[in-house]
Homo-oligomer: A and B are copies of this chain.
Amino acid sequence: MASTDSSTNKISIGLLGFGTVGSNVYNLIKDQGLEIAQATGASIEIKKILVRDIAVPRQDAPPEIFTDNFEDILDDPDISIVIELIGGLEPAFDYITSSLENGKAVVTANKQLLSQRGFHLFKLAREKNTQIKFEASVAGAIPVIKVLRESMVAADLTSVYGIVNGTTNYILSEMSRTGAKYRDALANAQEWGYAESDPTEDITGKDAAAKMAILASIAFHTAVSLDDVACIGIEHVSSTDISYARNLDLTIKLLGVAKLYGNKINVRVYPALIKKDHPLATVSGAYNAVFLKGNSIDEIMLSGPGAGGIETASAVVSDLVSIIVRREPGAHENVAAWREMEFYPDDEVISKFYLRLEVKDEPGVLATIAKVFGDHNVSVESVIQKDSGAHAELVMVFHAVREASFRAALEKIAELSEVKSQPWPIRVEGNGNEQQ
C-alpha cells in the first residue's frame, strides 16, 4: 500500500567528499529510497560528488558523477542541497558559505568548523533564508541536535553532559576492563581502528570540546566556541588510578559538561570518576551518551554509537529528510544564539576530587599534607595509605570544594619535598541527581 504522495518530485544533491561516510551516505540513499520517499514525498538523487582525484577508480557510484571542480556543484541550479563531508576549516568553510550564498541548503558533519565559525554560518543561512543542519557533527547516529532543537523548547535545560568522544571512551574502557596501561590501550585502539594514527585531537579532549561547544550553543541559545571550553585530556590517567577507583566502586570516563550557574554558563571537558551504578558507567567501548537535564524533564539520556561510517551516514540522511520536509526554514532555524550569556569562571566551580600522591615513606608526611589542605579549607573525605616499595602512596578523596581553593592547595603540595609525584587530580562526579 504505497502512499500516493511518494516520489512526486526529485531532489538533486551535491556531495563533497567520498570517504567512508560519503560512500555510506551514497549507498544509504539508494538502499533506503522507499523509506525516504515515504517520509518526504520526494526521491533523492546524488547528482555530483566532489573528490580530489577523479582518476581514482570507485566502485559504488558511476564515474560520470564525480568531479574535482566545486563550481560544477555550486553552479548547478538543480542541486538544492549540498552535503559537506570533507572536514577541516578550509576549503570546507568556503564551500559551505558559497553554497548558502547561492541559496542551497547544507548538511555537514564538520565539528571543527562549526565549533569555530558556526555562528557565521548560522547567520548566513538565516540571511539567505535557507538551512544548515549538522546532526552528524556530534555523537554519530544519536539524534541529540534534533532533540535539543525541537523537543527541548520547554525543557528549561540546566545542564548537558556526557561522553562525546568514542576513542577516549574505548581507551578508558579497555584500561578498566583489562588493567592495561594508557600507552598499550592507545596502541590497541589504533590497531582496531578506534583511534587515528595521530590521536591528538581525541586524547587531549579537543574533539570532545568542539562537540560540547556545539551542544552548549544549541542547548542554551548562546554563542559558545571551541576557545570557550577548558579541557583536560586523558594522557595522565594511569592504570594505577583506575585500579584504586575500582576499589572505591568508581569508574573513569572523559566527560563533557555544559552547565548553567544562575544565568552564567560553564563548559568543560575532563576525566571524571563516576559511580559504577551511574548510567554513564555502562556506556563502554566507542559508544557515546548525552544527558539533558532540565527543570521540566528531570533527566533524559540518549546513547548509541558515537561514530562509524554507516551510523554517521544515517545522521546525515536524517538531516536531509528534515530539510526536504521543511523547505521553508521555520523561525527557529538558525537562531542558535538569541541570548548573550556570560561564562561562569572555572575557578568557582565546586567539585569533589580524587588525588593519588607518591610520598616519602616516613612519619609525619600525612600530617604535613593534611595541614596544607586544611589551611586552604579543603576537607578530606577519605584517605588510603599504601606502601609501594621505596615510597608510600596516598589515595585521597576530598569533599566538594571550590576549584580555586583546591588548585591553590595543590600548588603548595607539589612544592613539598615529601611529595615525589606530580599531582594529577581527577574529579569525582556524584550520581545523576547530584550533578545539578
Contact = CB atoms under 8 A, between A and B. Distances in A.
B300 A303 contact: yes
Interface in A36-57: 36, 38-42
A41 B331 contact: yes
B301 A302 contact: yes
A59 to B, nearest CB: 19
A40 B330 contact: yes
Contact of A300 (B28, B142, B278, B337): B142
Interface string A115-156: 000000000000000000001000001110011001111111
A308 B298 contact: yes
Interface residues of A, number: 68
Nearest to A340: B1
A338 B282 contact: no
Given A153-B318, A318-B153, A296 B313 contact: yes
Given A5-B331, A331-B39, A314 B297 contact: yes
Nearest to A31: B156
Given A5-B331, A311-B296, A311-B297, A317 B41 contact: no
Contact of A304 (B143, B146, B150, B297): B297
A299 B289 CA distance: 12
Contacts of A338: 1-3, 38
Contacts of A221: 35, 38
A65 interface: no
Most buried by B among A31, A295, A317, A332: A332
Nearest to A143: B151
A71 interface: no
23 contacts: A3-B335, A32-B156, A35-B153, A38-B221, A38-B335, A39-B331, A39-B335, A41-B332, A141-B155, A141-B298, A143-B300, A146-B146, A146-B150, A147-B147, A150-B321, A153-B317, A153-B318, A154-B318, A277-B282, A295-B310, A296-B310, A297-B311, A298-B305
